[in-house]
Structure 1
């Protein structure tokens, strides 16, 4: 029998999706499952985006340009301008989701066995993207005791080698909800300039910041022109996860021209999804104001309820819609599977994402889970109560 590749064997499973078969079995048993495991917002997609697809008059669903349509890229640039990010459409490549933008970035700036430094825990698919690209992640561990704040710059400098090509952050963070301050961004800017590295920022949650704190982008650092690569997406901003439209943004012309070759190899981003995403840019600020108000209420409720459970530790997020929760268990993977296979309260159970998959360091985060607070408040209360009752009887 032919063998699959070593790369394929080492490709990690998604900690978010690997428990799906157990959830499906729970459904077959007639259980209700509250999904705290995945960042699929329950907020309605703006009607203007859906209508743009429903009423379009295309006769042929044709390719667009590999970098995305001129009209859409210009409107993206206009959107950024309103956020004090000054780029042109030539600085933007439209991608099939933020995931493809990250793959294009990795492929454009790193070779096999090069290294990228990432504060962990981080978005789990960074592990997968690095494996697919043949790149090695060098982690800098941030801790729940510090609310996952940026580790000291000295910790980054200790890890820089001739193989180091970039530092990657997610801001606001998935899975922690941590929001990097302007001062922290400036510290990172200093280190990448000092060591001639790239700074990649995954900023797909930029709209979702709380407690009066605003988002500061790496693209607002004017002297990072040759160093900064921003990753963005419509998925969470407009609750359009299924559109699979993102973008890679950089003022570094060599980065853009190189990434364009990867874009040409896959031909073009989805045409109908671009139409919807272009229309979504007309979404009024009132939409985001309402969404942020809702997420703040959900966050506050979730944190308050979790803190009532003995032995539970939770970090308070300042952005996105996730938090990391430390449980009084030894192995959150086993606990998460047990919840779906063997436990319910009146026919209801919960699905969580074990947090070990959000680290690249072995044996870290084994007793942690990520919770996405993308459910209605009533459902969040029920879900946390199920966790509380489960922890009373679960045995490692």
Structure 2
């Protein structure tokens, strides 16, 4: 009998989606589930994007350029200019989601067995993408005690070997909500230049920063043009997760020429989704402002509620719409499944993402969960109430 590949066996399950069968079973049993497990915004997609798809004049749904519509890339360059990032349309490659941008990046800069250093905990799919690319993720540990701040540069330097090709950060962070400061970005830039490494920044959540904080991009840092690669997406910014449109951005011509070969192999990004994404850039500034204000209120509601539950530890996220919460339990994977399979409060329960899936090694983050505060405040308060009662019952079993 033919067997599957070692790569296939090594591919990790999604910590976000692996509990879906239990959620489906719970829903069939009549339970209402508050989804805290996935970053699916409930904010409406800009009407400009929806109207562009409704009113398109296409007679043929044809391929686009492999790099994406030139008009879209020009508008993206204008968008970045508003954020003090100077790039041209030639520095931008439109991809099928931020996921493809990461896969193209890894394929363009690494060979099998190469290493990428990533602050941990990290977005779970980084591990999946590295497995596809036969690249090794080398974690540098950040800690809940200091809000998952950037580990010291000395800790990074201990991990650099001849196989190290890049440092990868998510700014603001998924799953932690940590926002890297300008000073921390400068430290990483100096490290990349010193050791001749690429610095990759996943900036999908760049709009979502709170408390008068400011996002500082690696492409705002002078002298980093040959080292910096940005990954971005419309999924969260415009509540367009289903569009599957992202982009890869770099001023390094060799990197972009190489990535273009990967883009040509997959032909082109989806046409209708590009039409919607290009139109979304016409959304008024009020769309961003109102969205960020909603998420800040939700963050404050969630953090305040979690801190009232005995034994729960949580920091204050400065960006994105996630937080890592440490619970007074031993096994968050078991607890998350139990919430769906065995528990309900008046036929209501919650779904969370066990944080162990955001760490590279076994037995890390076992008592932590990632919570996405993408629900309205009323539902968040109810979800927190359910969590508090569930923890009491779980511990007393």
- The TM tier, using the shorter chain, reads over 0.9
- 2:292 and 2:3 map into 1 onto residues whose CA distance is 49
2:167 aligned with 1:167: yes
CA deviation after TM superposition for structure 1 residue 69, in Å: 1.0
Output aligned runs, 1:227-242, within 5 Å: 227-242=227-242
CA deviation after TM superposition for structure 1 residue 115, in Å: 0.2
TM-score normalised over the length of structure 1: 0.99
State the Cα deviation string for residues 99-150 of structure 1 (Å, max 9, x = none).
0000000000000010000001010000100101000000001000010000
CA deviation after TM superposition for structure 1 residue 161, in Å: 0.1
- 1:393 and 1:274 map into 2 onto residues whose CA distance is 48
SS of residue paired to 2:179: coil
Q: What is the aligned partner in structure 2 of residue 365 from structure 1?
A: 365
Q: What is the aligned partner in structure 1 of residue 274 from structure 2?
A: 274
- 1:70 and 1:30 map into 2 onto residues whose CA distance is 49
CA deviation after TM superposition for structure 1 residue 361, in Å: 2.4
- C-alpha RMSD of matched pairs (Å): 0.6
Output aligned runs, 1:173-192, within 5 Å: 173-192=173-192
CA deviation after TM superposition for structure 1 residue 393, in Å: 1.4
Output aligned runs, 1:119-158, within 5 Å: 119-158=119-158
Q: What is the aligned partner in structure 1 of residue 106 from structure 2?
A: 106
Q: What is the aligned partner in structure 2 of residue 57 from structure 1?
A: 57
- 1:261 and 1:365 map into 2 onto residues whose CA distance is 38
- 1:70 and 1:170 map into 2 onto residues whose CA distance is 27
- 1:293 and 1:167 map into 2 onto residues whose CA distance is 32
Please list every run of at least 4 consecutive aligned residues from structure 1 whose deviation after the TM superposition is greater than 2 angstroms. none
CA deviation after TM superposition for structure 1 residue 325, in Å: 0.3
State the Cα deviation string for residues 349-390 of structure 1 (Å, max 9, x = none).
000000000011221100000000000111001111111001
2:29 aligned with 1:39: no
Q: What is the aligned partner in structure 2 of residue 194 from structure 1?
A: 194
- 1:36 and 1:84 map into 2 onto residues whose CA distance is 34
SS of residue paired to 2:223: helix
SS of residue paired to 2:140: strand
2:219 aligned with 1:213: no
State the Cα deviation string for residues 317-367 of structure 1 (Å, max 9, x = none).
000000000001100000000000000100000000000000112211000
Q: What is the aligned partner in structure 2 of residue 95 from structure 1?
A: 95
Q: What is the aligned partner in structure 2 of residue 116 from structure 1?
A: 116
SS of residue paired to 2:175: coil
Q: What is the aligned partner in structure 1 of residue 346 from structure 2?
A: 346
CA deviation after TM superposition for structure 1 residue 222, in Å: 2.3
- 2:51 and 2:71 map into 1 onto residues whose CA distance is 18
SS of residue paired to 1:223: coil
Q: What is the aligned partner in structure 1 of residue 380 from structure 2?
A: 380
- 2:309 and 2:76 map into 1 onto residues whose CA distance is 44
- 2:225 and 2:313 map into 1 onto residues whose CA distance is 40
- 1:322 and 1:352 map into 2 onto residues whose CA distance is 11
- 1:304 and 1:393 map into 2 onto residues whose CA distance is 22
Alignment: residue pair count: 396
Q: What is the aligned partner in structure 2 of residue 23 from structure 1?
A: 23
Unaligned runs of 5+ in 1: none
- 2:362 and 2:391 map into 1 onto residues whose CA distance is 25
Q: What is the aligned partner in structure 1 of residue 333 from structure 2?
A: 333
Unaligned runs of 5+ in 2: none
- 1:177 and 1:335 map into 2 onto residues whose CA distance is 23
- 1:221 and 1:304 map into 2 onto residues whose CA distance is 36
SS of residue paired to 1:118: strand
- 2:168 and 2:386 map into 1 onto residues whose CA distance is 36
State the Cα deviation string for residues 189-213 of structure 1 (Å, max 9, x = none).
0000000000000000000000000
